[in-house]
Homo-oligomer: A and B are copies of this chain.
Amino acid sequence: MILKRPIYEIENISFDNNDLMVNETVFHNANGYIGVRSNYEEGYPEGFDTIRGSYVNGFYDIADMRQAEKLFGLVEDKQTMLNVADSQTIHLIIDGETFSLFEGSAISSKRWLDMEQGITGRSIVWCSPAGKQVEIVIKRMTSFYQLSLFTIEYSVKALNFKGKIEFLSYHYGEVSNYSNENDPRVAKESGKYLIPTQALIEDGASYLTSQTSKSGLSVCSGVQHKVSKNSSINTKIKEHSAITMIETFIDENETLTLTKYTVFSDSIRQKDCMANAKSEMEKALEVSIEALYEAQREYLKDYWENCLLEIKGDDDLTEAVNYNMYQLIQSVGKDEYCNIAAKGLSGEGYEGHYFWDTEMYIEPFFNLTEPAITKNLIGFRHNTMEQARENAKILGHKKGVLFPWRTIMGTECSGYFPSGTAGYHINGDIAYSVISYYLATKDLDFIADKGAEIIFETARLWMDVGNYYNGSFRINEVTGPDEYTCMVNNNYYTNVSAQYNLRWAVKFYELLKVANKVTMVANRIGLSETEIKEFNEAATCMFLPYDESLKINPQDDSFLTKKVWDLKNTPKDHFPLLLHYHPLHLYRHQVCKQADTVLAHFIFEDAQSMDTIRNSFAYYEKVTTHDSSLSTCIFSIVASKLGMEEKAYDYLGDSAKLDLFNTHKNTKDGIHTANMGGNFMAIVYGFAGLRIKENGIYFAPAIPKVWEEYRFQINYEDSQIKVEVNAKESIFTLVKGSLKQIKVFGNDYELQNRITIPNKH
């Protein structure tokens, strides 16, 4: 056992509709390719709301998104993640009585997630209205070993009777997306996108193929059943769906198990998805379900070894953080055809779109734990360069690429450009992520292959968007991370990020030149040395706003001239502000939705003195609402940096528990993947002060009073380093790999085996 509490479980399940919806998210299964919400196999009574969903990462259709007024270049359609064929439904009929938690009585019931086994489950002892008692155990898995595979293992034990058992198992091809026209965070148009095209039965398995309405894609799902005892099994197709009827008899105390295998295949990745679904089904059935479980365990054993994180003295937090890391590996794409959605594969919030969250909140985690995943995520961006080039053209640029603010397949899906497309910092963020991956791995081959092209093309865009004025290089009319302040000039975050991007374009050019690897990429994109010189000059001349009287970096040119929002007298029920105030009113005030300059002070900390960072932090603290779930973790990290570990602890607060406790009231629409990465960051980059820079790896560990100890393990280049911090000291252990130079509190140490360093103050 690696995890302190490998199993998260809840007992005596609430029948409150909202709790049920939240748990559909919390207990969902996913593996980065497919995701299945945790809907009851037996369904819900009339009147219960449920989001019944199965998703394939990167699989989308085009949805209409008409603008109220048509203007050149405004986005008029968007990609939307599709709810694909549903294979969750299984009705259990015991001597004519249909099992439902809403009838008869549940003697006991629990739902659980085993994060070491990679399995979710329900365990129920149920007494039917006629008094028949059964113990039902249902295990679900989306396999990390075979990404196309989702299994349900449904066991029934007759406790006080013998009799007839029937299963009615469904494979629905008629599915649509969830919609809610009043919530800006989910699709508002009711969504029927998939058109069933083929349904057949082969070797007892049903295969359903559907086509998207506009994007020209297709998806196939296959379902097969195994029963632990000789039974009558009969599958038939009815209107684009398959129904399997299973009949057998059960003895008292006998356990009967139905195993339902579902495989998915899509036309983005496969030429012939039905053929592929069949061969995936064959592969799944070749081995026993136990062997599949074993493979799942093996995968997770490796994973947890890479991302150990434990807080002694706060088991709840440890559990929450581990839950989050589990969700991240469930959610993140495992190939270059997809990425990680804001809600992972757990729900339809934000329509399955990928945001800057990937680069700024999730890759920092994978860089330290599974850098191969970061490589895929960057690979995805590289795959969408053409769309980003087209996007730049639409925005009027003559060169470079502009990555979309939100997307599935690479084109912009942001309907409201002032807090969408105008967020040009997405370019800087993607460049930053390439650089961070390089610094963590020193994988120059990948830079030559893909990374440098991203860096050069984003650098080019800055050259086109910016202009010299009074000798400094300015970037006008963009939106920084803070969405309560839009379309401003010289957003500090954007400018410092562009500077970093430009500088590294120069650095990579030199590095690749030295390694004899620059010619190919330079030729491919027609890059000249003159441009490199221009990059360098713009970086040097980059205007970074600084206010002499406050001694802070203003968020942008005009931020400080605006009215300060009266947060103290804003009614509590008026948060988040975006749901209660007109954008113009928000933009007119000094009020921030989230860390903006403060985020810059974390990731580009060397751009300013400690004093400026301290002043800025204090200033923005007073005007930030943290209405975004991407905010408090960053404030926590910077508080740590400034030596305020108790404040850092307060900022961390319960945010790691956001989804487990549904603190934002929208977990029903899916988990918050960026927040999950952010919490990891708040501990590792925050309390432990980890930084990976050009000249090495830095630590500056501190620990909040209430914790006894915390420890984590990270990958760095070819090594693995374990860090344990207690109230007095920090212990660094080289778990594997070659000797490393590390910097702790600014001092250099050689880490060959194990070093112990006393904490500061």
Contacts and interface: CB of A to CB of B under 8 A. Distances in A.
A578 B69 CA distance: 12
A74 B561 CA distance: 26
B395 A582 contact: yes
Of all A-B residue pairs in the complex, the 8 with the closest CB atoms, nearest first, are A68-B415, A396-B585, A73-B582, A69-B416, A477-B588, A69-B415, A467-B563, A70-B184
Contact of A557 (B69, B396, B558): B558
A1 interface: no
Contacts of A66: 66, 68
A65 B68 CA distance: 5
A68 B72 contact: no
A102 interface: no
Interface stretch (A35-43, A265-273, A417-425): A417-425
Contacts of A579: 72
Interface string A443-487: 000000000000000000000010101000010110000000011
Interface in A56-76: 65-76
A188 interface: yes
A58 B515 CA distance: 73
A587 interface: yes
B65 A561 contact: no
A188 B70 contact: yes
A6 interface: no
Contacts of A70: 182, 184, 188
Contacts of A632: none
Contact of A395 (B184, B561, B585): B585
Nearest to A67: B68
A527 B458 CA distance: 56
Nearest to A420: B69
A325 to B, nearest CB: 32
Contacts of A420: 69
A568 interface: no
Contacts of A653: none
A524 interface: no
A464 to B, nearest CB: 10
A69 to B, nearest CB: 4
A416 B184 contact: no
Interface in A69-113: 69-76
Interface in A417-448: 417-418, 420-422
Given A184-B69, A561-B474, A584 B416 contact: no
A74 to B, nearest CB: 7
B561 A476 contact: yes
A285 interface: no
Contacts of A71: 184, 416, 578, 582-583
Contacts of A587: 477, 487
Nearest to A65: B68
A749 interface: no
Interface string A611-641: 0000000000000000000000000000000
A417 B584 contact: yes
A581 interface: yes
Contacts of A561: 469, 474, 476, 489, 557
A704 to B, nearest CB: 37
A238 interface: no
A394 interface: yes
Contacts of A469: 561
A465 B474 CA distance: 28
A184 B585 CA distance: 26
A562 interface: yes
B73 A68 contact: no
Nearest to A397: B585
